[in-house]
Structure 1
Amino acid sequence: MNDGYFMPLLGLGTSAPKLVKSEVEKAVMRAIDVGYRHIDSAYIYQNEEEIGRAIQIKLADGTMKRGDLFLTTKTLNYEKAGLEQMDSNVNSVFFPVLPGEDPIPEDTHGNITFDTVDLFITWEALEKCKDAGLTKSIGVSNFNHKQLEKNLNKLGLKYKPVCNQVECHPYLNQSKLLEFCKSKDILLIAYAPLGSDLRKKWVKKENLVLLQDPVLNAIAEKHWQTPAQVALCYQLQQGVVALAKSFIEKRIKGNFQVFEFQLTPEDMECLDGLNRNIHYFDYGKFAHHPDYPFHEEY
């Protein structure tokens, strides 16, 4: 990243509003056992306690050291988004525990707390968090190129964002935004790199199912891989960090095998051709807001 720290190319996404929280804890432990060293979380997912517990278990049993793990969390500016403030103690759950701390510290709500995170995504106040050593790196999410430019040109800017986390997959390849981010030395991070389950309430129901795409499946068959592995490899070979979300053990393992093959230039060109500018995530209820990012092409 542009601040000198390193981010693993493949991460585990943990958004699961309908999932039993204990399953999130198990999935994080499985992922760490498989080899994942990048865990993506957020305050709004309401499962950071379970993620923290899973990490602590894996630190305690010697599977990894704290320095091996890249942990991301995100916050939301509720006032700007027009949402009701959920909790005045928003920052109580995002600080990661360093190895060797015993007992595990807790806040007044019983949530596991942490000393430092690797990446925290919001702005201004987070420059102070970075200065205070509470986070190593700071980045943004769902910024279009004009908003990134505004951030970079901000008077008194101390730290430029290391990344921009956006929806990105073969049906929404974000090629122009990726080119812009690369020109500014900002990493693009893909959430929903496999598309999304159309049964989820926040997903547009008229969309096509990415993993059923015939071109994607033909390339997968040629390489003896799954469509999901090809979709992930497509991101990694462009230098895009991919957050693969699954809580099923077989899929967690399968997704991590993406490093065992490579797509050809012809494969990449075919996948580029799948772009339809399809957003799976429906943020339409925020479209009236002056900072709504999706009115711009990229």
Structure 2
Amino acid sequence: MKEIPAVGLGTWKATPGEVTQAVKVAIDTGYRHFDCAFYYHNESESEDWDLPLDRNGMVIPSDTDYLDTWEAMESLVLEGLVRAIGVSNFNQEQLERLLDKPNLKIMPQTNQIECHPYLTQEPLIKFCQSRGVVVTAYRPLGGYSDGMDMREDPVIQDIAEKYKKSAAQIMIRFQIQRGVVVIPKSVTPKRIVENFQVFDFELSEEDMTALLLLNQNLRLATFPAAANHKDYPFGKLPDV
């Protein structure tokens, strides 16, 4: 099992110019975990669109079984090209199928999923942790729901006032105390620094319960639809 910092910097939807400066600020702040992906399109090498579309604008999925893809990823670890591999947006059924693979050589180190107080993911997190898979929470600060910024939720605001912290810091600390790695995205220097200042306080059990009770199973992350493919992770979102 490899170690991973509990707090990282998310770079999803940060433009190339923005992300460069954000990473510089984060490094100076003490971040050593950066969430990057070809799909984010904020690297100079990533200018071409990477999802093939049909004439109706629907994603054309691959027929390759993700277990076969995993074997190819395992070879990268065995050849010393990467240190660890994991998955993203996997539900329990998908992850269980991978973990129970007869000839599994390399365990998935993490399952990266959308997770915030309105989508607490309790069953999936418990399953992952029971099988030794670290959960990484993306979009931990939520976003807008019915025109309201999740950080303005009265419960979160009250807890933030109690600890003299920002709503974002409360939402990040919430994940840390659940044993979940968290990767809040920001390109604002002040917020990048603030999001890292979450190790000098601890939420009470009562406040953790109050945050868990905010759950609405609300998904905010959306992906292009896939044509006629029930298992494609960017079409009908899996129940994670």
* Shorter-normalised TM range: 0.7 to 0.9
Is 1:41 matched with 2:36?
yes
What is the match of residue 129 of structure 2?
Answer: 182
2:79 matched to which residue of 1? 132
Deviation sequence 1:83-121 (CA, Å, 0-9, x none)? 489xxxxxxxxxxxxxxxxxxxxxxxxxxxxxxxxxxxx
SS of the counterpart of 2:9?
A: strand
Indicate if the aligned counterparts of 1:207 and 1:278 stay in contact, CA closer than 8 A: no
Residue aligned with 2:85, SS:
strand
Q: Report matched runs for 1:35-184 at 5 Å.
A: 35-49=30-44, 82-83=59-60, 123-184=70-131
Alignment-mate amino acid for residue 264 of structure 1:
S
Pair 1:172–1:208, CA change in 2 (3 A): farther
User: TM-score scaled by structure 2?
Assistant: 0.85
Q: Which has the higher contact order (CA 8 A, sep 6+)?
A: 2
Stretches of 4+ aligned residues off by more than 6 angstroms: 76-79
Q: 1:131 to 1:159 in 2, by over 3 A?
A: same
Give the % identical residues.
45
- Aligned partner of 1:215 in structure 2 is 155
Structure 1 pair 264/165, CA: closer, same or farther in 2 (3 Å)?
A: same
Cα distance change of structure 1 residues 27 and 172 upon mapping to structure 2, 3 Å threshold: same
Alpha-carbon distance in 1 for matches of 2:227, 2:142: 22
Let me know the Cα RMSD of the aligned residues.
2.5
Q: Give the letter for the 1:246 counterpart.
A: S
Count of aligned pairs between the two proteins: 224
Structure 1 gap ranges (5+): 51-75, 86-121, 199-204
How far residue 40 of structure 1 moved from its aligned partner, in angstroms, is 0.7
1:271 to 202, 211, 216: 211
- The AA in structure 2 aligned to 1:11 is G
One-letter amino acid matched to 2:176 = L
Distance 1:131 1:47, change over 3 A: same
With normalisation by structure 1, the TM-score equals 0.69
